[in-house]
């Protein structure tokens, strides 16, 4: 059995994947982090600051959700976000992370992609189902 968390700034999906291929969703959350703001002149810095605060709140929310997980799990996250998440997680939750791999997807497609990486399979063949 694998326990896998795939996430980015938009959402996170935690699931248990059993040896027979069954996937059990543990939690699935969407964030309130606004997307990057490209225009705005003097307001751009204010929007960037607001976004930065929301990202911190999002990662703290994930840290609270992970408190209920007792076993080790795999983490699928973009390398752009991983350091910031690890800096936000409590040491208790950091110790539960078995491996970290880069993923492009969240939700169920991210779980499929992550399992394919763990088992050494090519995800491109299964991508049509996502």
The domain segmentation of the chain, as residue ranges, is 2-129
What tokens appear for 56 in the block?
Answer: 């911190």
The sign of the dihedral angle between the CA atoms of 47, 50, 52, 55 is negative
Can you give the pLDDT of all 130 residues of the chain as single tens digits? 899 999 998 899 999 999 888 999 999 999 988 777 666 666 777 788 888 899 999 999 999 999 999 999 999 998 888 999 999 999 999 999 999 998 888 889 889 888 888 887 654 544 545 6
CATH architecture of the region 2-129: 2-Layer Sandwich (3.30)
pTM assigned to the model: 0.83
DSSP code, position 75: E
Nearest-10 crossing angle of helices 43-66, 79-88 = 70
**Measured distance CA(8)–CA(80) in Å, rounded:** 9
């Amino acid at each position: 059995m694998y326990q896998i968390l795939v996430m980015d700034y938009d959402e996170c999906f935690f699931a248990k994947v059993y040896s027979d291929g069954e996937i059990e969703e543990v939690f699935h959350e969407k964030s309130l982090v606004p997307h990057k703001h490209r225009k705005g002149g003097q307001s751009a810095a204010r929007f960037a600051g607001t976004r930065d605060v929301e990202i911190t709140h999002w990662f703290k929310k994930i840290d609270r959700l992970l408190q209920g997980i007792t076993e080790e799990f795999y983490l699928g996250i973009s390398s752009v976000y991983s350091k910031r998440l690890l800096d936000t997680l409590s040491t208790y939750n950091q110790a539960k992370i078995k491996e970290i791999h880069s993923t492009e997807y969240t939700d169920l497609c991210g779980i499929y992609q992550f399992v394919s990486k763990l088992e050494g399979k090519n995800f491109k063949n299964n991508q049509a189902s996502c």
